[in-house]
Amino acid sequence: MTDLSGRTALVTGSVSGIGLAVARALAEAGARIALHGLAGDMEIREAREALLAAGAPQVEFFGGDLRHPAQIEGLIDAVEAWGGDDADRGGLGILVNNAGVQHTASLAEMPAETWDAILAVNLSAAFHTMRRALPAMARRGYGRVVNIASVHGLVASVDKAPYVAAKHGLVGLSKVAALEYAAVGEPAKGGVTVNCIAPGWTETGLIQPQVDAAAKAAGGDRDAGIAALLSAKQPSRRMSDPSEIGALACWLCAPLAHNVTGTTIPIDGGWTAQ
């Protein structure tokens, strides 16, 4: 049901965390993976080997700093060319905008340059990738964009102004793109869809500073610190594993999901149901 053989997928920020988990799920479904991220040779090599072992027929690393539109243009052009020119399954068929940065501080103490960087990577980069990728997807009659938003694209928290603003913007941007491309294609080919996934607390390096702070407040007890974090927001009191986000992303990329578009699906243990 999620056979993605012959498809080319670009997952931004895919050398670790949620991005790597999404790339692994797509690799298991047979997709060729365009790796991306700001990482050293060792981390890139380990990610590539993991994806090949998971079943990806090809894995190639592509660089590009998502704060700079010109580098994003080059990234999309390179992946589109790497995807080949097959009329049905060539080019870039799957785009997962996952790369993100975070910094916690009050509005009064948030550096202006930090605001600019978070908005650039978490929001503007998705605009630039979609602007370039969606027209080619439409010509082929199949395309999948999955934007990794956050519960903070649906609700707010203190000390996260740029992150919350960016993720709310990403949800809105995705709805516009979904509407503009909703009538493209047909069920058999899969059409072109744009959706968001909104993870809650998930075991990744991005939240490690918050986990460390909570553990310190709990006298150095990491489990107690995590429990305190979850009890405040996530009713299930369970962390999500990145593989759970990967599994949902993979399903959204399948042709059978042709009528699932413009949605934001939380994986948050009931956080946004409150």
Active site residues: 163
Strands 8-11 and 94-97 come out as parallel
Contacts of 53 (CB under 8 A, 6+ apart): none
Q: How far apart are the first and last CA of the chain?
A: 33
Place of tokens 């020119």: 85
- The tokens describing 71, both together, are 């580098």
What does the DSSP 8-state code read for residue 189? T
Q: How many CB atoms lie within 10 A of CB 188?
A: 10
Q: Is 200 helix (H, G, I), strand (E, B) or coil?
A: coil
Place of tokens 């908005």: 119
Q: How far is CA 156 from CA 89, 129, 271, in A?
A: 39, 26, 11
Q: Is 37 helix (H, G, I), strand (E, B) or coil?
A: coil
Question: How many CA atoms does the CB half-sphere of 69 hold within 13 Å?
Answer: 8
